Structure 1
Amino acid sequence: MLAAAPASPFPAPVVGAVEDREIPGPAGAPAIPVRIYRPEAAPGPCPVVVFFHGGGWVICDLDSHDHTARALCRDAGAVVVSVDYRLAPEHRFPAAVDDAYAALCWVAAHAPELGADARALSVAGDSAGGNLAAVVAQIARDEGGPAVARQILVYPATDARRKTGSFDTNAAGYFLTAAHCAWFREQYLGPEGDPAHVRVSPLLADDLAGLPPAHVVTAGCDPLCDEGRAYAKALRDAGGTVTESHFPDMFHGFFGFPELLDDARRAVADVVQVIVSSGRDRKNDGETGVRAG
């Protein structure tokens, strides 16, 4: 079984300040630990990213994704708020979703004190974190919540039914396996959970119009590849603005290795540009594009 990511042997990207704190959780739930990364001297309010780590809703934490959050903060000149949402099986669905949305609302309300511009607010995450980012973007639209400028989805889980071709062709041999995915889903949903619930499988939402511009990163050797690309297509078909970075030779998890992999460096650079664009373009009307790897 997968284990939480070990500490990186590479030096941590340098940022202006890092603060661990707790913010209010959903009603009746405990406080949510977050880690706030602030860039070095910024000329004014900067973009802000609410980041949800991956790990199948079961493993990983603020430390496992510390380097990723630092890199986005440093390279994009953005405030990054990394969210330590509750994990399954101790806290099954919808606990993670509830925490993620509470964190989004808190960041939007407290942007000025963070030195951030709430009009340039993005949600981002990898794998299960990408799932949460997509889901909270839908909730914010449906419930009249915070205005989200961008949704950044790195090999996101978007369809827990697991019926895509890549789930079969990449079932084994590429780090994340079909067996891992089945185990994670069982822990997250429990025996009675519905994998077709739209807060579990955002691809299955009845209406995908009116969502924030999306940037979707996918890896060709990933069981989740096809559902990530399907979500990008569905958003585009619904009239949304979508950019994609697809890396045919990469595997699930590659985004966390920019010191080692050229494709990871390119993927991170693409995400950085999306974050930067949220600060200079708040009209949400950019062009659609696709990276071929």
Structure 2
Amino acid sequence: MPHEPAPDVLALIGAIRAHFPDLGGAVTDAAEARRILAAAPAWPFEPPAVDRVEDRAIPGPQGAPEIPVRIYRPRPDLPQPPTPRPTVVFFHGGGWTIGGLDTHDPIARALCRDAGAVVVSVDYRLAPEARFPAAVDDAYAALCWAARHVGELGQDSGALVVAGDSAGGNLAAVAALTARDRGGPALALQVLVYPATDARPREASPDWNGPGYFLTPSHGRWFVEQYFGPADDRAHPNASPLLADLHHLPPAHIVTAGFDPLREEGRAYAAKLRTSGGRVTESDYPGMFHGFFGFPELLEDARDAQRRVAEVIASTVSGRKKSGEGGGGAG
């Protein structure tokens, strides 16, 4: 494996870092970090085309505020017959602290277009204003809402999917665990893109990570401090799903990147799912970095990763199951 990403990838990382707050360094306040991100230049590429986009507010957990969601509906003619369709409940990344419906709009659109899925993107409460387990509670509430409304969404109750990247991958994994433990909703698939699965303090692997590869170990520590505050909940299974009992969970598709502090815990989660009897596919990109999934216009590996995710989501629809769905082994 190379000791650093390819020159073109390093150039992209540098361009991203130029507009990304120095979390835990010069920037310690989450609200300031969000202001810096909001002031970044607009993405110069046209967003993936979908049929309709609708912003709604759905009931939150008991005693909590409503949850804003953005619902994406695919064009009726692409990429497959119009009904039924998968319903994907998507949780954005951002260390449980930054990010939202707008930052992950292109990813949600791409999943909608390429998988032919109805995507419900969830604007869960952020830390430090709402610390653990507020985001977990919102994620499960949104999943339950989507299950109750699947008839007006994808119309296939057997094709309900949870998905997310980074901290959103953590929430998707925890939502699947919660659904199992509470008797539903039944899930067809969990899609975890470089998920955070172990919040316990640890040293990052020097073989894959360095200060110049966008997400750094110091960033990760700052995010975790915002999410948990002084509470010592990091070993709770809803914080670190790698520590949970992983039996009887839906099939998983897990995406990891070589130059990513979260790579090892993502791959460890895939391995534990398998040893627990789960069906897992993996797509690992050794030359990529945390966040690469959102740059398909610039990176071939991002296009490939999004294509594979779309294929496995599309395969959940009744009558369109693929022979290789959920099988173990690396992609």
Q: Do the structures match in fold with TM over 0.5?
A: yes
Q: Which residue of 2 aligns with 1:240?
A: 278
Q: For 2:273 and 2:108, locate their aligned partners in 1 and report how far apart those are by CA, in whole Å.
A: 26
Alignment deviations for residues 33-74 of structure 1 (CA, whole Å, 9 cap, x no partner): 000000111532211100000000000000000000001100
Q: How many residues align?
A: 290
Q: Which residue of 1 aligns with 2:251?
A: 213
Alignment deviations for residues 104-128 of structure 1 (CA, whole Å, 9 cap, x no partner): 0000000111243121011000000
Give secondary structure in 1 for the equivalent of 2:54.
strand
Give secondary structure in 2 for the equivalent of 1:290.
coil
Residue 103 (str. 1) matches residue 142 (str. 2): yes
Does the CA-based 8 Å contact 2:112-2:118 persist in structure 1? yes
Q: For 1:126 and 1:184, locate their aligned partners in 2 and report how far apart those are by CA, in whole Å.
A: 15
Which stretch shifts more, 185-194 or 78-87? 185-194
Residue 271 (str. 1) matches residue 309 (str. 2): yes
Residue 78 (str. 1) matches residue 117 (str. 2): yes
Q: For 1:197 and 1:37, locate their aligned partners in 2 and report how far apart those are by CA, in whole Å.
A: 33
Residue 150 (str. 1) matches residue 185 (str. 2): no
Q: For 1:215 and 1:121, locate their aligned partners in 2 and report how far apart those are by CA, in whole Å.
A: 14
Give secondary structure in 2 for the equivalent of 1:249.
strand
Which stretch shifts more, 64-73 or 187-196? 187-196
Cα distance change on mapping 1:223 and 1:286 into 2, 3 Å:
closer
1:201 aligned residue (215, 220, 240) = 240
Does the CA-based 8 Å contact 1:19-1:35 persist in structure 2? yes
Cα distance change on mapping 1:190 and 1:284 into 2, 3 Å:
farther
1:225 aligned residue (238, 263, 266) = 263
Does the CA-based 8 Å contact 1:168-1:223 persist in structure 2? no
Q: For 1:208 and 1:190, locate their aligned partners in 2 and report how far apart those are by CA, in whole Å.
A: 27
Q: Which residue of 2 aligns with 1:22?
A: 57
- Residue 179 of structure 1 and its aligned partner are, at CA, apart by 0.6
Does the CA-based 8 Å contact 1:135-1:202 persist in structure 2? yes
**Whose Rg is larger?**
2
Cα distance change on mapping 1:64 and 1:183 into 2, 3 Å:
same
Q: For 1:288 and 1:10, locate their aligned partners in 2 and report how far apart those are by CA, in whole Å.
A: 36
Corresponding letter in the other structure for 1:9: P
- Residue 170 of structure 1 and its aligned partner are, at CA, apart by 1.1
Does the CA-based 8 Å contact 1:46-1:77 persist in structure 2? yes
Give the alignment's Cα RMSD to 1 decimal: 1.8
Residue 184 (str. 1) matches residue 223 (str. 2): yes
**Aligned counterparts, 1:155-170, within 5 A:** 155-163=194-202, 166=205, 169-170=208-209
Q: Which residue of 1 aligns with 2:13?
A: none
Give secondary structure in 1 for the equivalent of 2:265.
helix
Spell out structure 1 runs of 4+ moving beyond 6 A. Answer: 282-285
- Structure 1 residue runs without a partner (length 5+): none
Does the CA-based 8 Å contact 1:167-1:224 persist in structure 2? no
Give secondary structure in 2 for the equivalent of 1:195.
coil
Normalised by the length of structure 1, the TM-score is 0.95
Normalised by the length of structure 2, the TM-score is 0.84
- Structure 2 residue runs without a partner (length 5+): 1-21, 24-32
Give secondary structure in 2 for the equivalent of 1:187.
helix
